[in-house]
Chains A and B, each alone.
Chain A
């Protein structure tokens, strides 16, 4: 297929946390609030005059300082973020909001605070309580935390308008990007998709780390381009897979999977679109903040939610994605040392394999996979096993 016109630009934006669009937005007077988790409703940080970036540590090399402060038992994402913060890589931020959702990310941000890694005069840290169950009680604390830890500091410190009208506008702007990404992502349902998982990952990833309104034009153009794009006659993949698991902001991860013969048709991981890039529906019956929180709480597929409905729902959701996107198999992945996904991956792998009948590859991985030969070999073997299963099935043998 012909390269997407803006793909190089999206890739370039992902090379730095403080990328061109972030700098441009700040030059225009917008303030930039960092987050470290999908459980902080990003739409609340997209009010007029403010934008948000989900922190990454692109091109991570050494993590020596992060490891000194937090030991090698913490996940590399948290260590890489701390390392980058100590190096001064997040000095552009005007505030950082961290959910106390997983111990490791919370500690990473606390280390940033205690080590005085941010220098802006008005810079603020906030640590949020995030509900562990999706129910009415959870919603009440979510709403109050979002109000006191996100909206009020934005208003009190930076004078940001947090009115209902401003929130409605933020949701509408957010939804506009989500509609574009959803429409683009739907092409992955085609038998021979006109977009690869890697390309889609670049677009989605960029939407988490750039001011969204500055991406609109490029995404609209990309959508139009895709509508006319002809996929290669011969399929460039041998198996369609859903990738489900913990956060992936490494641009090489999906690329590696696809180079090994799979096509990633659904991205069910943090920094992915499912969920994360669906529209937030609003009604006139209750306040916007409550509706936003309810949406994030019920849509979230974070393994941290501990009530049984959510736990079972997570596996059901992966199954739904596999059906909807016609996947041949599922790759459950987790970053090493991630407690939440270690357990979720273990059970999810068994459930999806034994109860839903999918071939499942279960892997843990480092933060930056680079060109990991081990991971490549495992994906290649998985693709081959799917092919063999298909072959047997076509010959009327076992599934």
Chain B
């Protein structure tokens, strides 16, 4: 970025007070053409999406759908400054993510009572939580797991920074305290506002990430089951997930959830289908372990913002069900703390063990396996990873009201000093830029880099950007 590495001033692309950028970035002939081809691909996916009347109806029914106009902008933002292989890796990942989300939404709107209202198809859909692993659906090849919160909340806010502010306001107007995590708060707000598509044979809710997330499910189930008659199962994944004593409990929850889906859908669990997914999931894990090995060298193959989103998609939402992701995995590399989830190989032929494997994966869901299970998986493992990957600095994302992480604030600081690790606290709010704007987040890092490390930015134009109004 910047002249030192052969790019223009990237901050100049932003237009103060405006949503969209001034123009596209110049990356040299070859990379600009490649980047442009991927922009065309994204526009193609969007265009194809809009050819479906259900999807068009959804644009007029659901407030959050408006954010999807910004898909190309999100990809541009997350690929800014990238060149060569890294640009190609990022686009490979984003192409798949965009296609996968488009497919997920098309399925949703086909079944949704408010849009397509395909009742037969709706019976094939099982609602999952936003952060929930999808492996329970691996053994039901005729069913499709759909997380309604993913397009409505999680992706929306990646596309447009203030996308879910109205829903947060709805939840607070309804009486929810403003001091809870804004993520489940926004999800609940969508439900209170009756702005989720209505479909599905049943729903599998899970205590995914935090206490707030668990509680939000109760509110959502109230509407799903009480109003729409969609039966809900609450899958309890143990909190002390590293302890042997809870594994049978976790496994029984998986058995109960499978039985619940069978009862609600009339489908039967298919071990062959499950093990086919398990094989792909293991293959993806093997790739990931190789990339982790690469990242422990002096030349880590770490790349940008696409990393987390892609990893979440592959690990959690795909779970070995889609071969295209495995093909892509073979081309790319990635690493961040969010990605440091389970690398355990799961059984490819033993049904009894497979139940425990699924239980293990549900216990080790993204955003959960580090924040729950005691301080060892949070504090101790962080220093272990720093050593493994030769990291000398940690940026800790202190998300608003994330109690599990905030509760270790002081000990992070003390132990970082003991380990000789530089620590930057970056306070952020994933859902509400009114609380923590992007500019504040950048300041947290910039201030440390200037005042502690005495560093100058490679591209000074990025230090202060007026992007408060941008997508």
Contact = CB atoms under 8 A, between A and B. Distances in A.
A26 interface: no
A346 B407 contact: no
A132 B214 contact: yes
A193 B404 CA distance: 44
B249 interface: yes
Contacts of B214: 132, 304, 306
Contact of A73 (B179, B188, B205, B215): B179
A339 B240 contact: no
Nearest to B375: A110
B407 A132 contact: no
Contacts of B451: none
Interface in B355-409: 371-372, 374-375, 379, 398, 400-404, 406-409
A343 B236 contact: no
B227 interface: no
B47 interface: no
Given A73-B400, A103-B407, A342 B239 contact: no
B407 A129 contact: no
B374 A137 contact: no
A140 B248 contact: yes
A344 B214 CA distance: 11
A110 B207 contact: no
Interface stretch (B90-98, B218-226, B463-471): B218-226
Contact of B409 (A69, A78, A128, A346): A69
B207 A73 contact: no
Contacts of A131: 236, 249
A375 to B, nearest CB: 15
B175 A345 contact: yes
B67 to A, nearest CB: 26
Contacts of B371: 103
Interface stretch (A5-13, A141-149, A179-187, A271-279): A141-149
Given A133-B236, A308-B234, A343 B407 contact: no
B236 A69 contact: no
Nearest to A145: B245
B212 interface: yes
Contacts of A110: 374-375, 407-408
Interface string B242-261: 01011011001100100000
Contacts, number: 165
B174 interface: yes
Contact of A343 (B176, B205, B408): B176
B403 A104 contact: yes
B211 A339 contact: yes
Interface in A122-165: 127-133, 137-138, 140-141, 144-145, 148
A362 B407 contact: no
A30 interface: no
Given A68-B410, A132-B234, A342 B240 contact: no
Interface string A357-371: 000001010000000
Q: Which of B211, B379, B401 has the most CB of A within 10 A?
A: B211
A144 B411 contact: no
A69 B410 contact: yes
Nearest to B172: A346
Contacts of B180: 339, 342-343
A244 to B, nearest CB: 14
A114 interface: yes
Contact of B249 (A129, A306, A350): A129
Nearest to A102: B211
A103 B403 contact: yes
Interface string A88-102: 000000000000111
Interface of B: 171, 174-177, 179-181, 188, 205, 207, 210-212, 214-219, 221-222, 225, 232, 234, 236, 238-240, 243, 245-246, 248-249, 252-253, 256, 371-372, 374-375, 379, 398, 400-404, 406-411
| Interchain residue pairs A-B with the least CB separation, the first 6 | A107-B407, A69-B410, A343-B215, A141-B249, A339-B211, A132-B236
Given A110-B408, A306-B234, 17 more contacts: A73-B179, A78-B407, A100-B240, A103-B210, A103-B407, A110-B375, A111-B408, A114-B375, A129-B245, A137-B249, A306-B217, A308-B234, A336-B177, A336-B179, A343-B216, A343-B218, A343-B219
5 contacts: A68-B410, A103-B403, A342-B179, A344-B215, A344-B218
